[in-house]
Amino acid sequence: MEIDQCLLETLPLGQRQRLVKRMRCEQIKAYYERERAFQKQEGFLKKLKHGKNQKVHFNLADMIQDAIIHHDDKEALLLLKEGADPHTPVSSGGSLLHLCARYDNAFIAEILIDRGVNVNHQDEDFWTPMHIACACDNPDIVLLLVLAGANVLLQDVNGNTPLDYAVEGTESSSILLTYLDENGVDLTSLHQMKLQRPMSMLTDVKHFLSCGGNVNEKNDEGVTLLHMACASGYKEVVSLLLENGGDLNIVDNQYWTPLHLAAKYGQTNLVKLLLMHQANPNLLNCNEEKASDVAASEFIEEMLLKAEIAWEEKMKEPLSVPTLAQEEPYEEIIQDLPVLSSKLSPLVLPIAKQDSLLEKDIMFKDSTKGLCKRQSQDSTPENATVNGPTKPEQVKLMPPAPNDDLATLSELNDGSLLYEIQKRFGNNQIYTFIGDILLLVNPFKELPIYSTMVSQLYLSSMGQPCSSLPPHIFSCAERAFHQLFQEQRPQCFILSGERGSGKSEASKQIMRHLTCRSSTSRSIFDSKFKHAMCILEAFGHAKTTLNDLSSCFIKYFELQFCERKKHLTGARIYTYMLEKSRLVSQPLGQSNFHIFYLLMDGLSPEEKYRLHLNNLCAHRPLEMSSCSSQMP
């Protein structure tokens, strides 16, 4: 598929982007066809060699899901024709329509709707395809679902409608607001409707208790009223059940406690409430997981980990009477929780987003009112002591701009690209997107955009870039983290550029952001990584005219994550192409590898004399470099 460049530039921005995306998909498809033809040829040769033809048969359900994800529309239509079930369930209880909404495949979504797939189908978290389309900001899917009669008022397990997940000002949000306005639904009535469910359950529970009902009664699945209220985030209902003797540690048929459900669905306030009432955080479900293992956010996970430690200490003295001192760990956790700002609209911001903003509020607090939840270990000296008020971390992020993605420019040529890059560089905007590629211009100075606080701002529940944040290396790292588990295949960063362009530092920032998601092992990993890099850089770095710590070899970093807990489990570093010629010859104004100078600096005068190393320039590996060069 070839399009004339002049014709392409005359198209509207949205249509041009969709057309370019379709062209890319067709290019990938052509590459896939060539690979498949090559594999068939290899299979034929193997058959001639071994005399056997071993075939691998894939399930139609798996094949159609793969076709939807990769926008292979022809393959998807062929599979439907061959008998693939359009009502095939996917992981987490969703439908193929959920998958189309996630990967913006409007063509197959329309086919599935024509074949009778339920547009209001809800997965295990009660998310409909409309919820996913709004969360991923895929307006074509949103419009298609609206025209197909999707119910835009359905609520998920947290009581949020699709509008709660649509970012304000986006096309998806505009479509929903227009549809609601045309149907006479205003935001006030929508807010009242959201409050209707918890109030209705509160009324029903009061009536049930007044009639003498058992507060711990279970249904066929072992679920109690406390399980339901904790999963849904109904704090008043939970408080009422606890006041009337609700069992904190009661388990369902899968051994899930109310604390497990509150942690899984991100109900921060309810986790706090249950811990305050002495819920046991060490109980295991059928998968041998504690509540901290299924926590929806790192903030809840840390709260539960503290509670586990406090509970274990308490269990060491089983005969002692609980005192105020024994409850201090729970009180400390509770005091860390901020109060929701009155400026936050509960309609626009769902519970998960509110919790995320509250965690960010903690990080911005001055240390006199409460230290930051996580301080950057890289910027804090090991021997630092806190004797008085300290300044909060400095953050300077430029607001997002229309030219954040140069692929959206109306005129694409060398002149326009260089002009935009130079203009952004003058504003300290060193990161720029060009489609899926992130361009970095080395500023050769320190910028306050790499702190732990900034890394936390780029955390995302879905892996989608936040429209309110500028391009950043953390955004790419976050997207790769989510695609690792969503696509179930390795993700790779390729950092390319000339010497001194900042590749080594960029790779460190990528790993730093990824390790931020592994709070339990981060400190251990950081320590081991720094020690390993210190040795590698000593043997592989040298002073050049551009950089005192220039890399003279290629590094390949491999991070390994646990699929179930999504925690960092290990790492490897491979080295390639060491610049060995530097050992015997160095360009003018450059030095040999730093290891030689470090060895000289570490030796005492007596050792230097005994080893005949008094004169640095007298030795052949170092005589051609400038003897006046010093280690940075």
Q: What is the pLDDT of residues 68-99, one digit of tens each?
A: 988 888 888 999 888 889 988 887 788 999 99
* pLDDT of 351: 40
Closest CA to 481 of 512, 506, 435: 512
Name, of 23-32, 187-196, 424-433, the range with top average pLDDT: 424-433
The DSSP secondary structure of 223-284, one letter per residue, reads: --HHHHHHHHT-HHHHHHHHHTT--TT---TT---HHHHHHHTT-HHHHHHHHHTT--TT--
On the question of pLDDT at 220 being above 90, the answer is: no
Domains and CATH numbers, the chain: 5-189 (1.25.40.20), 195-335 (1.25.40.20), 412-583 (3.40.850.10)
Helix (H) or strand (E) holding 315: helix 298-315
Q: Specify binding-site residues for ATP.
A: 497-504
Q: What is the per-residue pLDDT across 400-415, written as a single tens digit (0 to 9) for each?
A: 666 788 888 777 788 8
Strand residues in 253-410 grouped as ranges (E) = none
- Quote the tokens at residue 549: 């710590």
First to last CA, the chain: 54
* pLDDT of 396: 55
- pTM of model > 0.85: no
Listed range (326-335, 423-432, 593-602) with the worst mean pLDDT: 326-335
- Quote the tokens at residue 106: 């409007």
Partnered with residue 433 across adjacent β-strands are 405, 438
Q: Specify binding-site residues.
A: 497-504
In which band, very low, low, confident or very high, does the pLDDT at 629 lie, cut at 50, 70 and 90? Answer: very low
On the question of pLDDT at 45 being above 60, the answer is: no
On the question of pLDDT at 6 being above 90, the answer is: no
Closest CA to 157 of 193, 185, 127: 127
Q: What is the per-residue pLDDT across 176-195, written as a single tens digit (0 to 9) for each?
A: 888 888 877 777 766 666 66
d(CA 476, CA 491): 11
Cα distances (Å, whole numbers) of residue 572 to 525, 532, 556, 575: 11, 10, 8, 10
On the question of pLDDT at 361 being above 60, the answer is: no
Which residues have C-beta within 8 Å of that of residue 108, sequence separation ≥ 6?
67, 68, 73, 76, 96, 100
Listed range (123-132, 378-387, 435-444) with the worst mean pLDDT: 378-387
Average pLDDT across the chain, whole number:
76
Give the chain's largest Cα–Cα span: 97
Q: Which residues of 103-120 are buried (b: 16+ CB within 10 A; e: fewer)?
A: bbbbbbbbbbbeeebebe
Alpha-carbon torsion (307, 309, 312, 313), positive or negative? negative
Q: What is the per-residue pLDDT across 372-391, written as a single tens digit (0 to 9) for each?
A: 333 333 333 333 333 444 44
How crowded is residue 396: how many other Cβ atoms within 10 Å of its Cβ? 10
Which residues have C-beta within 8 Å of that of residue 474, sequence separation ≥ 6?
454, 455, 457, 458, 509, 513
* pLDDT of 4: 60
Q: Is 460 exposed, middle or buried (0-12, 13-18, 19+ CB in 10 A)?
A: middle
- DSSP state at residue 405: B
On the question of pLDDT at 116 being above 50, the answer is: yes
CB 146 within 8 A of CB 179: yes
How crowded is residue 411: how many other Cβ atoms within 10 Å of its Cβ? 8
Interval 447-456 mean pLDDT: 83
- Quote the tokens at residue 277: 């009432």
Interval 11-22 mean pLDDT: 71
Interval 457-482 mean pLDDT: 82
d(CA 536, CA 193): 60
CB 507 within 8 A of CB 493: yes
* pLDDT of 27: 74
On the question of pLDDT at 145 being above 90, the answer is: yes
Interval 231-260 mean pLDDT: 88
- pLDDT top residue among 615 and 61: 61
Could you give the percent of the chain with pLDDT greater than 70? 77
CB 341 within 8 A of CB 362: no
On the question of pLDDT at 140 being above 70, the answer is: yes
How crowded is residue 63: how many other Cβ atoms within 10 Å of its Cβ? 18
Q: What is the per-residue pLDDT across 336-359, written as a single tens digit (0 to 9) for each?
A: 433 333 333 333 333 443 443 344
On the question of pLDDT at 469 being above 70, the answer is: yes
Closest CA to 461 of 481, 476, 436, 489: 481
In which band, very low, low, confident or very high, does the pLDDT at 428 lie, cut at 50, 70 and 90? Answer: confident
d(CA 150, CA 148): 6
* CA trace torsion 103, 514, 447, 550 (10° rounding): -110
Cα distances (Å, whole numbers) of residue 93 to 106, 123, 133, 183: 21, 4, 17, 30
Interval 229-246 mean pLDDT: 86
d(CA 232, CA 221): 17
* pLDDT of 62: 84
On the question of pLDDT at 100 being above 70, the answer is: yes
* pLDDT of 350: 39
Interval 285-290 mean pLDDT: 86
In which band, very low, low, confident or very high, does the pLDDT at 604 lie, cut at 50, 70 and 90? Answer: confident
d(CA 117, CA 547): 60
- Pairing outcome for strands 568-576 and 554-561: antiparallel
Amino acid at 184: G
Name, of 121-135, 313-327, 446-460, the range with top average pLDDT: 121-135
Listed range (193-197, 432-436, 606-610, 623-627) with the worst mean pLDDT: 623-627
On the question of pLDDT at 28 being above 80, the answer is: no
Angle between helices 106-114 and 73-81 (to 10 degrees): 20
CA 434 to chain centre: 21
d(CA 454, CA 474): 8
